[in-house]
């Protein structure tokens, strides 16, 4: 076994093993297919014969009697030697397989490193060019985004200026309306005061005339009552004088007829008492007449005053009703105008608040989008830096592997005998990371192009919306400068662009594209 040498070759696809065993100047050719069957199956008769040929011939022992026993011992010895040889061969083949597997692994690693070095040499400038193009595109996109942000800031400033102008014009209009309302109120108050003065003057004039007429009537009535009183008193005095004269005549006749003094005295006393009683009654009658006259005068005056007051009250009520009926439409007009002005002011304030909120939301969206774009650009820059670092590392590894490859030229010549199809398959199987990076770079480029197009479309749509809002918020000078013209208010335009949804979908597409190479 010390003088023997073995050379074998293993082909992985066919899974067959060719070996040549040379021992003591003789050759033995055999085919094993596959190796596991070689190690596990029992030896065949041909192999045993071949092994018998390989074995050196022993000298024959003499003696015919012991021929059969010798043959049996020889067969047993041959079987034992065959078993030992099989064991040694299996062990030798196992050791050779392990060595060859190690050598194949080392050679595959070397080939892979060489292939990687070649690919890095060929694709390093391409990646650098792509990085430069990406950096330029990112810079241009950042410049475009900055210009868009500046344009939007200018548009917002112009919008704020126009809103301030609209507010100023609105305030001027409100001041004019308030001035007109104050003028109208002043005119209405003046008309009201003039009407009240006229009513008061008329009322005083009529009251004076009526009072004068009442005084004249009272004077006439007092005169007539005094005349009637005088006539009544004259009649009473005439009756009293007639009664006294008749009484005196009766007394005289009685005196003449009756001469007695006692009777005369009694009659005189009775007459005196009767005269006193009559005087008292006369006084009481005078008092009663005076009281009745005063009461009649007072009642007449009160009745006349009450009638005059009732007439005046009726007249004043009619005037007040007419004035109220005249002032009701004016008051209604004033109330309606005030309510309309308040409603318009509320609408304008609401619209201004809505426009402010919409502008703030747009600014927030733009800031968020710019932050996202900056983050993406930073991520891509970091990726490019990583790629550059990997390229530098690959260069260093190339230098090292060139030194190693110079010493391993025989292994490279041995691997060149493999077919081109197998090489391609091995390349693709041995370099999945590089292919994945290539695919990710291409997909990122496509996604960036799509994002650029989407950003351009969104920028155009935002500019259109801003122009529409500015056109809607602008108030024409003809409508504002017109005297007594109503305020024109336009509705706020509703945004029809869903920027966030499109961007989120684009981001999802980019993520799915970047994740797809691993699956492929």
> What six digits make up the tokens of 487?
């305020």
Q: DSSP letters along 264-325, please?
A: HHHHHHHHHHHHHHHHHHHHHHHHHHHHHHHHHHHHHHHHHHHHHHHHHHHHHHHHHHHHHH
Q: Give the pLDDT of residue 140.
A: 86
> What predicted TM-score, i.e. pTM, was given to this entire model?
0.27
Q: Give the pLDDT of residue 342.
A: 80
Q: Give the pLDDT of residue 1.
A: 38
On the 0-12 / 13-18 / 19+ scale of CB atoms within 10 A, 233 is middle
- How far apart are alpha carbons 457 and 460 in whole angstroms? 5
Domain segments of the chain as ranges: 164-353
Q: Which residue has the tokens 């022993």?
A: 58
> What six digits make up the tokens of 227?
């005349």
Q: Which residue has the tokens 């005339």?
A: 209
Strand partners, 7: 20
- How far apart are alpha carbons 317 and 78 in whole angstroms? 156
**From first to last of its 520 residues, what are the pLDDT tens digits of the chain?**
333 333 334 343 334 343 333 333 333 344 334 444 444 444 455 445 544 444 444 444 444 555 677 888 888 888 998 888 889 988 998 898 999 888 988 988 988 888 888 877 888 788 888 888 888 888 888 888 888 888 888 888 888 888 888 888 888 888 888 888 888 888 888 888 888 888 788 878 887 887 788 778 777 877 877 777 777 777 777 777 777 777 777 777 766 666 556 666 676 777 777 777 777 777 777 777 777 777 777 777 877 777 777 787 788 778 778 887 887 787 788 788 878 888 887 888 788 788 778 877 877 777 777 777 777 777 877 777 777 777 777 777 777 666 666 655 554 455 555 455 455 444 444 456 666 667 777 777 777 878 788 887 877 777 777 777 667 665 444 444 444 433 333 333 343 334 433 444 444 443 343 334 333 3
Strand partners, 9: 18
The H-or-E segment that residue 26 falls in is: strand 26-32
Vertex 177 angle, CA 176 and 180, to 5°: 85
R_g of the chain computed on alpha carbons: 70
On the 0-12 / 13-18 / 19+ scale of CB atoms within 10 A, 26 is exposed
Q: Give the pLDDT of residue 319.
A: 78
Helix 420-430 × helix 432-473 angle, to 10°? 60
On the 0-12 / 13-18 / 19+ scale of CB atoms within 10 A, 469 is buried
Single out the residue of 140, 320, 329, 307 nearest to residue 211, CA to CA. Answer: 307
DSSP for residue 14: T
DSSP for residue 419: -
Q: Give the pLDDT of residue 405.
A: 60
Q: Give the pLDDT of residue 11.
A: 40
- How far apart are alpha carbons 422 and 416 in whole angstroms? 11
């Amino acid at each position: 076994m010390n003088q023997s040498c073995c050379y074998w070759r293993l082909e992985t696809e066919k899974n067959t093993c060719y070996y040549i065993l040379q021992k003591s100047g003789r050759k033995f050719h055999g085919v094993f297919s596959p190796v596991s069957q070689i190690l596990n199956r029992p030896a065949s008769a041909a192999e045993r014969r071949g092994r018998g040929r390989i074995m050196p011939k022993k000298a024959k022992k003499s003696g015919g009697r012991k021929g059969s026993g010798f043959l049996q011992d020889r067969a047993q010895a041959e079987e034992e030697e065959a078993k030992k040889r099989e064991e040694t061969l299996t062990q030798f083949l196992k050791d050779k397989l392990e060595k060859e597997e190690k050598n194949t692994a080392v050679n595959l690693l070397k080939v892979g490193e060489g292939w990687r070095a070649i690919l890095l040499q060929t694709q390093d400038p391409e990646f650098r060019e792509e990085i430069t193009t990406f950096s330029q595109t990112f810079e241009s996109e950042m410049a475009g985004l900055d210009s868009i942000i500046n344009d939007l800031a200018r548009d917002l400033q112009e919008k704020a200026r126009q809103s301030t102008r609209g507010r100023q014009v609105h305030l001027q209009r409100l001041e004019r309306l308030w001035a007109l309302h104050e003028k109208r109120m002043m005119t209405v108050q003046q008309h009201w005061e003039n009407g009240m003065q006229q009513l008061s003057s008329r009322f005083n004039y009529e009251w004076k005339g009526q009072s004068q007429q009442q005084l004249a009537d009272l004077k006439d009535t007092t005169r007539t009552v005094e005349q009637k009183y005088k006539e009544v008193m004259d009649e009473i005095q005439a009756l009293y004088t007639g009664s006294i004269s008749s009484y005196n005549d009766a007394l005289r006749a009685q005196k003449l007829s009756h001469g007695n003094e006692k009777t005369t005295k009694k009659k005189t006393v009775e007459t005196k008492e009767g005269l006193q009683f009559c005087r008292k009654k006369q006084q009481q009658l005078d008092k009663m007449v005076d009281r009745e006259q005063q009461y009649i005068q007072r009642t007449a005056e009160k009745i006349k005053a009450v009638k005059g007051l009732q007439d005046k009250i009726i007249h004043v009520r009619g005037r007040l009703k007419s004035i109220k009926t005249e002032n009701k439409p004016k008051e209604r007009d004033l109330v309606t105008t005030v309510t309309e002005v308040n409603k318009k002011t509320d609408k304008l304030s609401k619209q201004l608040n809505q426009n402010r909120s919409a502008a703030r939301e747009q600014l927030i969206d733009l800031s968020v989008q710019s932050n996202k774009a900056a983050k993406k650009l930073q991520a891509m820059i970091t990726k490019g830096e990583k790629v550059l670092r990997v390229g530098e590392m690959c260069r260093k590894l190339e230098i090292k592997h060139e030194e190693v490859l110079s010493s391993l030229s025989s292994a490279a010549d041995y691997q060149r005998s493999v077919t081109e199809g197998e090489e391609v398959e091995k390349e693709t199987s041995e370099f999945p990371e590089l292919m994945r990076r290539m695919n990710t770079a291409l997909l990122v480029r496509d996604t960036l192009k799509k994002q650029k197009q989407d950003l351009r479309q969104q920028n155009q749509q935002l500019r259109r919306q801003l122009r529409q809002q500015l056109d809607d918020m602008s108030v024409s000078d003809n409508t504002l400068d017109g005297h007594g013209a109503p305020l024109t208010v336009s509705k706020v335009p509703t945004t029809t662009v869903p920027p966030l949804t499109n961007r989120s979908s684009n981001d999802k597409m980019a993520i799915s594209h970047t994740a797809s190479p691993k699956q492929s």
